[in-house]
Amino acid sequence: MPERKSGDLGSTSCGNSIFHWGQRTYVMGVVNVSPDSFSGDGIADAEQAIARGKQLASEGADIIDVGGESTRPGSTPVSSDEELRRVVPVVERLANEVSVPLSVDTYKLEVARRALNAGANMINDIWGLQKEPTLADLAAEKGMPIVLMSNQRDSHCRDIVPAVISDLKRAIKQALAAGVPWESIIIDPGIGFGKTQEQNLEILRRLEELKILGRPTLLGSSRKSFIGWVLDLSPEQRLNKVAFVQPGDHRLEGTAATVAIGIAKGVDIVRVHDVREMALVCRMSDAVVRGVQAN
């Protein structure tokens, strides 16, 4: 991998935006166009999904991540045709109605291709090129950035942080070999993907170790089950989809804690469901950690 000065992550172009890494924390808002989303915010109707994307943009999202397949453990995979039916119309409309760039959350080549053609500006691959290596070729061909996640669902391990770093090194090497520019690669340790609850916490404690990879880090801890596990929420709060979006639900406060700690540990993007609240957490954390002054 190319040598870089410590802390020098450069910048990444994404649509009409340029992410200047290190200057502040960027917020990725989530639009789940899937009725069985783990977080309770899944949307089956395209019009509602478009309205949700516009709301997130107005609340301060720097990028909107559109996905058409639930990633919760045990969920039933959907076909490419169904994922395309869910995702492409939403991406197409949002590309014309919001000014922030769009990301497509998929590990399927044809879904990614069609979404980029419809106006998406980034690929978010939860399998880090394990399931579909040619996503890197597509990103290189289209000149789009790609998020590479470390996913342990097929390979559980005991020593989690070294395993995540090794896996991300592998993914970065694959992407570079396919022609993806160094500046277009973003990494994600994959909180909740094949990790135990204890391992999720360990990753959060040791996020700064990912800096050895020299690429900006995305943290996706929002509303994850380990928050409910730590805060000992009742079974009803864990399973009731309505409870996940109530103002007093502890997963909101728990997410805020993980976002603030993540920023202190060097995270560059946070992928969140509650954009308005987490954008404020980012601003406050950036003021402390990066010395960023309020607007």
CA angle 253, 255, 258 (to 5 degrees): 115
pLDDT at 9 over 70: yes
Contact between residue 186 and residue 216 where contact means Cβ atoms under 8 Å apart: yes
225-247 pLDDT, tens digit per residue, is 899 888 875 544 544 444 444 43
Give the active site residue among 52, 224, 251, 265.
224
Report d(CA 66, CA 61) in Å as an integer: 13
Length of the chain: 295
Contact between residue 94 and residue 53 where contact means Cβ atoms under 8 Å apart: yes
Q: Whole-structure pTM over 0.85, yes or no?
A: yes
CA torsion, points 189, 164, 284, 53, in degrees to nearest 10?
A: 0
| Confidence category of residue 263, pLDDT binned at 50, 70, 90 | very high
Q: What angle in degrees, to the nearest 10, is found between the helix axes of 275-289 and 46-59?
A: 30
Active site residue 206: no
Sole residue written with tokens 């959350």: 105
Residue 2, judged by CB atoms within 10 A of its CB (0-12, 13-18, 19+), counts as exposed
- Largest Cα span, the chain: 49
Strands 26-32, 17-20: pairing kind: unpaired
Fold of 22-289: TIM Barrel (3.20.20)
Give the active site residue among 271, 276, 283, 290.
271
86-143 pLDDT, tens digit per residue, is 999 999 999 999 999 999 999 999 999 999 999 999 999 999 999 999 999 999 999 9
Please state, as a whole number, how many other Cβ atoms lie within 10 Å of the Cβ of residue 127: 21
Contact between residue 114 and residue 90 where contact means Cβ atoms under 8 Å apart: no
Share of the chain above pLDDT 70, in %: 86
pLDDT at 161 over 90: yes
pLDDT at 4 over 70: no
24-70 pLDDT, tens digit per residue, is 999 999 999 987 544 445 577 889 999 999 999 999 999 999 999 98
Average of per-residue pLDDT values in the chain: 89
Active site residue 224: yes
Looking at residue 241, its pLDDT comes to 44
Residues 174-198, mean pLDDT to the nearest whole number: 97
Sole residue written with tokens 């910048």: 11
